Amino acid sequence: MPPRELSIVAISDTHNRIDAGFEVPAADVLIHAGDFSGSGRLPELDEFAAFIRAQPHPHKIVVAGNHDWCFQRQPEVARARLAGICTYLEDDGVTIEGVRFWGSPWQPEFHDWAFNLTRGAELRAKWDLIPEGIDVLITHGPPLGHGDMTFRGVAVGCEELLAVVERLRPRYHIFGHIHEAYGITRNDHTTFINASTCDFGYQAVNAPCTFTVPVPAGEANA
Ligand code: 5GP
Ligand code: MN
Ligand code: MN
């Protein structure tokens, strides 16, 4: 028998701009890499929760972004609204059929937004929480040099995140945040996917990104 693969589909930066016709391809796991809302208020979280609840994927993982204030200002209330609907990851991990995921919402400071941290030691401390052996890393923001080029031609990704990803070598690094840098890049060890659904004008025009990860031996029937 060929080895089993876990199928995964990633979206990000939907900003509550997706309409009823927005279709997410079938997969074992649905990932949302943050910025599901516009202003981060609870009614927007409820709208997003209804969308996620309606998706047929057996596993769903959500990370917050800099628009998703409710997870910073009212974390217990916000988490409760997603309870039983999906797995919310904030500097935390989940293992699905032996495939290890880690999620984190932080990004380099830009204006006054949620989950902003100063470049350097503050961000490094969050990335140092990522354990060895992660297969799929999910952050809201990009690392430096991958999916991080703004429309002005400036690479604004996090240099500390790049250093940690280059050391830990996850198979996939999924993020969004820089809408205009939607797409895929690679280095020798990692595939980087900027899964931003919305474009620079906040129109939900970019397709969900699908990929597979082999299930480790011994987990195939889990
Ligand atoms: P959002 O507000 O949804 O987090 O980001 C929307 C857009 O703001 C991005 O597509 C990008 O053009 C811009 N942006 C977000 N973060 C940064 C940043 O750190 N630096 C710069 N120059 N632009 C950013
Ligand atoms: Mn966004
Ligand atoms: Mn963002």
- pLDDT higher than threshold 90 for residue 2: no
204 CA distance to ligand 3 centroid (A)?
A: 14
Domain chopping of the chain, boundaries: 5-214
What would the mean pLDDT of 19-26 be, rounded to a whole number? 94
- Residue whose Cα lies nearest atom 11 of ligand 1: it is 178
What would the mean pLDDT of 101-111 be, rounded to a whole number? 98
Which of 29-38, 54-63, 129-138, 211-220 comes out lowest in average pLDDT? Answer: 211-220
Q: Looking at the CA of residue 13, tell me the nearest atom of ligand 1.
A: 3
Q: Looking at the CA of residue 65, tell me the nearest atom of ligand 1.
A: 4
176 CA distance to ligand 1 centroid (A)?
A: 10
Ligand 1 binding residues, C-beta < 6 A: 13, 35, 66-67, 108, 110, 150-151, 154, 156, 177-180, 200
Q: What is the pLDDT of residue 220?
A: 57
Which band of pLDDT confidence, cut at 50, 70 and 90, is reported for residue 70?
very high
State the SS3 of the chain. CCCCEEEEEEEECCCCCCCCCCCCCCCCEEEECCCCCCCCCHHHHHHHHHHHHHCCCCEEEECCCCCCCHHHHCHHHHHHHHCCCCEECCCEEEEECCEEEEEECCEECCCCCCCEECCCHHHHHHHCCCCCCCCEEEECCCECCCCCECCCCCECCEHHHHHHHHHHCCCEEEECCCHHHCEEEECCCCEEEECECECCCCCECCCCEEEEEECCCCCCCC
77 CA distance to ligand 3 centroid (A)?
A: 22
pLDDT digit string, tens, across residues 111-157: 999 999 999 999 999 999 999 999 999 999 999 999 999 999 999 99
- pLDDT higher than threshold 80 for residue 77: yes
- pLDDT higher than threshold 70 for residue 158: yes
- pLDDT higher than threshold 80 for residue 222: no
178 CA distance to ligand 1 centroid (A)?
A: 5
Q: What is the pLDDT of residue 177?
A: 98
Ion ligand 2: residues, CB < 5 A: 13, 35
- pLDDT higher than threshold 90 for residue 219: no
- pLDDT higher than threshold 70 for residue 62: yes
Q: What is the pLDDT of residue 16?
A: 96
- pLDDT higher than threshold 80 for residue 1: no
- pLDDT higher than threshold 90 for residue 96: yes
Q: What is the pLDDT of residue 218?
A: 85
What would the mean pLDDT of 172-192 be, rounded to a whole number? 98
- pLDDT higher than threshold 70 for residue 205: yes
CATH label, 5-214, candidates 3.60.21.10, 2.40.50.100, 3.90.1150.10, 3.30.565.10: 3.60.21.10
218 CA distance to ligand 3 centroid (A)?
A: 38
What mean pLDDT is reported for the chain? 97
Q: Looking at the CA of residue 140, tell me the nearest atom of ligand 1.
A: 4
In percent, the amount of the chain with pLDDT more than 90 equals 95
